[in-house]
Amino acid sequence: MSITEIESYRLSRRGFLNAAALGAASIAVSACATTGPGPVEPPPPTYVEPPLADYASMYAAVSDGGFDLPAIPVDRIDPQFLRQVVPDPTGQKPGTIVVDTTGHFLYLVRPGGQAIRYGVGLGRAGFEWSGDAVVQWKQKWPKWTPPDEMIARQPELKQYSADNGGMPGGLKNPLGARALYLFQGNVDTLYRLHGSPEWRSIGKSVSSGCVRLMNQDIIDLYDRVPSKSPVIVTSDASQPMAAAATANHKAIPIDAGVPDGSVLLGPVKAVTNAIF
């Protein structure tokens, strides 16, 4: 090989090495430019309760179970007692029902720190009940059987006693369009969340021992509440568990009990954060 050919070879090899070095540097720079933390995933959206219908629609006349419920004159009811979505004051898990006997409200706790609030009527002084329970039976247009204690106070109710078959469901039935039957363990408390045709009583304490809602509201609640839902009846919605711990469980009941032969809902299941 001549001297000229040797020099040419050296120049070619040097050029190749320089080009390779530049290429490696370019790849390194490129890698620095494209690596690093990936895009930040946004947090999952907070659950927002779907808006309710307007009051005229919610409380309109409705045909249900063969009965025609009249419209409720919402303009004659304090707006705070109409169905609405509010910030949850209870801190309970979604699906829990909390009855605030001081405010005359029933809260159905929803996800996202919200609750659906309903106005209720409650038992007058001496007839109140409070504590924790579970919805162990549900009934549409329930039969009403007044207990012996109530018949003793109101003898005209004897015609609806258990021996006489009770009062069939209907527009004049005190349990209204729906009833949720509350149990503690396997024991019927004889306490009910129920409907009422007496919309004037909502926000007041006039009935014997139970929580009454307007019929259109109890239908809505009935459809939203799954079986075996926990219920807390308390005088303080912001601290329901503490209030329930010192509750009086000796109310005079409105109902004689779940009818014989009824199939109850079984043991209470744990409440989850599922959207009901």
Q: What one-character DSSP code corresponds to residue 23? A: H
What DSSP letter does each residue of 205-250 carry, written as one string?
EEESSSEEEEHHHHHHHHHHPPTT-EEEEES-TTSHHHHHHT----
Backbone angles phi and psi of 241, in degrees to 5 = -70, -40
* Catalytic residue list contains 194: yes
Burial classification of residue 12, based on how many CB atoms lie within 10 Å of its CB (0-12 exposed, 13-18 middle, 19 or more buried): exposed
CA 49-51-55 angle, to 5 degrees, is 135
Catalytic residue, chosen from 32, 104, 210, 249, is: 210
CA angle 140, 142, 144 (to 5 degrees): 165
Question: Measured on CA atoms in the order 169, 154, 254, 59, is the torsion positive or negative?
Answer: positive
Question: DSSP letter string over 61-103?
Answer: -EEETTEEEPPP-GGGS-GGGS-EEEE-SS-PPTT-EEEETTT
Residues marked active site are found at: 194, 210
